Structure 1
Amino acid sequence: MRTLPQLLTGLLCIGMLLDPGAVSAQEAKPIDELTKLAEDVFLFRHKAHQGLVVVTADGVIATDPISVEAATWLKAELKKLTAKPVRYVIYSHDHADHIAGGTVFADTAVFVSHWRARQDLLEKKPVETPLPELTFTDRLFIDLGGKHVEAIHVGRNHSDNSVVVLLPRERVLFAVDFIPVEAVAYRRMRDSYPEEWIESLKRVEQLDFDVLAPGHGPVGRKEHVRMFREYLEDLMREVRQAVLNGMSLEEAKQTIRLPKYEQWNGYPDWFLENIEAMYQYLSVH
Structure 2
Amino acid sequence: MKVLFSLILWLGICGALAATEYSIEKVKGNVYRFSAGHYHSVFMVTERGIFVTDPINADAAAYLIKELNERFEQPVRYLAYSHNHVDHTLGGDVIATDNVEVIAHEYADEDLRWTKTPTALPTMTFSDELTIKLGEQSVQMKYYGPNNGRGSVSMRFMPENVLFVADWIVLGRMPYQTLPGYDIHGMIRSTKAVLDEKPFDVFVGAHADMGTRKDVERYLSYLQALYAEVRDGMLAGKSLETLQQDIKLDEFSDLKMYDQWLPQNIEGVYKTLNEQSYFDQR
Q: Judge same fold: TM > 0.5, yes or no.
A: yes
TM range (shorter): 0.7 to 0.9
Between the aligned partners of 1:163 and 1:273, the Cα distance in structure 2 is 25
Kindly provide the CA deviation profile for residues 75-108 of structure 1, in whole angstroms up to 9, marking residues without a partner as x.
Answer: 1111233222111001000000111001112213
Partner of 2:120: 130
Partner of 1:188: 178
Kindly provide the CA deviation profile for residues 199-226 of structure 1, in whole angstroms up to 9, marking residues without a partner as x.
Answer: 1001111232110011012211122221
Partner of 1:69: 59
Kept after mapping to 2: 8 A contact 1:188/1:274: yes
Match status 1:120 vs 2:111? yes
Match status 1:258 vs 2:249? yes
Aligned residue pairs total: 258
Between the aligned partners of 2:50 and 2:131, the Cα distance in structure 1 is 15
Question: 1:146, CA displacement in angstroms?
Answer: 2.2
Partner AA of 2:171 in structure 1: V
Question: Which of 198, 206, 213 is equivalent to 1:215?
Answer: 206
Partner of 2:22: 32
Partner AA of 1:242 in structure 2: G
Match status 1:164 vs 2:154? yes
Between the aligned partners of 1:233 and 1:68, the Cα distance in structure 2 is 36
Q: TM-score scaled to structure 1, two decimals?
A: 0.87
Kept after mapping to 2: 8 A contact 1:182/1:227: no
Question: Which of 249, 261, 265 is equivalent to 1:270?
Answer: 261
Structure 1 pair 219–187 and aligned structure 2 pair: CA distance change class (3 A): same
Between the aligned partners of 2:216 and 2:145, the Cα distance in structure 1 is 15
Q: Name stretches of at least 5 consecutive residues in structure 2 with no aligned partner.
A: 1-16, 278-282
Partner of 1:153: 143
SS at match of 1:80: helix
Between the aligned partners of 2:216 and 2:148, the Cα distance in structure 1 is 14
SS at match of 2:160: coil
Match status 1:57 vs 2:47? yes
Q: Which of the pair has more CA radius of gyration?
A: 2
Tell me the percent identity.
34
Question: 1:281, CA displacement in angstroms?
Answer: 1.6
Partner of 1:177: 167
Q: TM-score scaled to structure 2, two decimals?
A: 0.87
Kept after mapping to 2: 8 A contact 1:157/1:192: yes
Kept after mapping to 2: 8 A contact 1:166/1:174: yes
Structure 1: 4+ residue segments shifted above 3 A = 27-30
Partner AA of 1:36 in structure 2: K
Q: Name stretches of at least 5 consecutive residues in structure 1 with no aligned partner.
A: 1-26
Between the aligned partners of 1:30 and 1:71, the Cα distance in structure 2 is 13
Question: 1:29, CA displacement in angstroms?
Answer: 9.4
Partner AA of 2:85 in structure 1: H
Question: 1:252, CA displacement in angstroms?
Answer: 1.1
Kept after mapping to 1: 8 A contact 2:84/2:150: no
